[in-house]
Chains A and B, each alone.
Chain A
Amino acid sequence: MKKDWILTQESFDALLAWLDPSREEAGRQYEDIRVRLIKIFICRGCNESEDLADETINRVSNKLHKIRATYEGARAPYFYGVAHKVYLEYRRRPPTPLLPPRSDDSELMEQVHACLEKCIENLAPDNRRLVRKYYQGEKTAKIIRRKKLADSLGIALNALRIRAHRLRGTLQECVEGCLEEVAT
């Protein structure tokens, strides 16, 4: 990625001030915008999504002195316009070759199994049961099981989806950390 401008502390402070008068709220918005830009780049099939999101934010910061006085309305759409230009530039570059992932050989499978076991054990018993019940089974069985699970927890199915999603994220993070530990 062509990076002709680096985000300094001063320009970062200016960006936060432009996002919201409260520094705390501005920090939260900055994080949200960054995470969502990363997601958009992933959805567009970009492999360097974090770099592209940071480049977008840098460019917005670089333009602040020009737009700050006149720009009105929500800030996020402005980032979107810049992100699209960053994406078009990315598309013009030759693709970066990816390292082939390590295949799931039997030794790795053993490690994965041990890490999953450990990470699932780390969950609170209720969450452990939820993961098992939510993700086990196939097709129709899964739908019925999830409906029953939501009923038994006294929550809506959509609330159950969100809980399962968060637990899955926690598990994935835990397993990746565990595998890294094993590898070092």
Chain B
Amino acid sequence: MGALILNPQASQLRRYLLGQLLADEQAQIEQRLLADGDFFLEVSISEEELIDDYLDRELSDLEIKAFESHFLVTAERRKQLRFARRLATYLTETEDVAEFEAVSESSAHAARDAAAAPKKKQNFFSFFPALSPALSYSLAAVILVAVVGVAWLAFRDRSTPSGRPGSFVAVTLAPGLTRDGGEIKRIKPTSNDQVVMRLIVPTKNYPVYRTRLLADDNSEVWASGDLAAVEESDANVVIATIPPGLLTAGDYRAVLSGRAPNGSLDDVATYSLRVLQ
């Protein structure tokens, strides 16, 4: 992107790429381009950064005009633009999955590191080295009872078969994106993952929302209870967590409804989501 160009001639190079230089300035650049390998590389990188800036809407109106009428004239450049757009779309679509995978990967690393760490052979009762054996046994028995009790309570309170607790895939959905728009968000949850949908609310008019998740054939896969919108820095979002195991590969629609004062539900927005194998 523009602000990252380090070469002091960056501005001139950008004007060259946009066809905004005088003939003698252009000739200087081109002769250097032909003779200097590092400069050739700089020009190639600057082309990509200009394309990215165009896609990120960071060019001025004048630059956009020059970009479209001069820079994009060749088939080669249009191919570059197409690739940049596809790459950006792909990375955005898979961002949440990648972040989840990165977390999983670092957890796996931690687990592997722990497994690989040299293990000291340790007698359970050596946790209490300062205590006499009799006292150690008594204390161990108390701890054992406490652990079993806590485990039982945790098991009893578990309302959903969540598999690995804390394992989730998060995805942020904007309203109205459809398959035809080519921007449908994709996720790759495992059967143990909870899917956390962050639904961007178009307007915050309702104190309470509900979400229904519909499969491609319009059958209801899941429905939430009452949810409040959360105010975030740039949008209001409703966070809906889908229990593990409900989503198989396919396309889904999330329908967000707001509860009106008379108790009826008004459909507020629809969101598209694709689950990959």
Contact = CB atoms under 8 A, between A and B. Distances in A.
Given A101-B78, A135-B88, A40 B33 contact: yes
B142 interface: no
Interface residues of B, number: 47
A106 B183 CA distance: 10
B12 to A, nearest CB: 13
Interface string B23-45: 00000001101110100110111
Contacts of A76: 31, 34-35
Contact of A36 (B16, B33, B58): B33
B182 A106 contact: yes
Interface in A120-177: 120, 129, 131-132, 135-136, 138-139, 142-143, 146, 157-158, 161-162, 165, 168, 171-172, 175-176
A143 B4 contact: yes
Interface in B1-56: 1, 3-4, 6, 16-17, 19, 30-31, 33-35, 37, 40-41, 43-45, 48, 52, 56
Nearest to A158: B6
A109 interface: yes
A112 interface: yes
Given A39-B43, A74-B35, A139-B56, A80 B182 contact: no
Interface string B57-81: 0100000000000100111111010
A45 interface: yes
B45 A77 contact: no
| Closest 7 pairs (CB-CB, A-B) | A45-B73, A76-B35, A116-B90, A76-B34, A165-B45, A172-B83, A36-B34
Contacts of A40: 30, 33-34
Interface string A23-48: 00000000011011101101101110
Helix, strand, loop or mixed for chain A's interface?
helix
Helix, strand, loop or mixed for chain B's interface?
helix
A37 B17 CA distance: 15
Nearest to B181: A106
B75 A138 contact: no
A157 B4 contact: yes
Contacts of B102: 129
A80 B30 contact: yes
Given A104-B86, A135-B88, 18 more contacts: A36-B34, A43-B33, A45-B19, A49-B74, A77-B31, A80-B34, A112-B86, A112-B90, A113-B186, A117-B90, A117-B94, A131-B91, A132-B95, A136-B95, A143-B1, A143-B4, A157-B4, A165-B44
A46 B75 CA distance: 9
Contacts of B186: 113
Interface string A92-115: 000000100100101001001100
A158 B17 CA distance: 20
B275 interface: no
A12 interface: no
Contacts of B70: 45
B45 A162 contact: yes
A131 B92 CA distance: 12
A161 B4 contact: yes
B151 to A, nearest CB: 37
B87 A135 contact: yes
9 contacts: A36-B34, A37-B34, A43-B30, A46-B74, A98-B75, A113-B186, A116-B86, A117-B94, A136-B91
A79 interface: yes
Interface in B165-207: 179-180, 182, 186
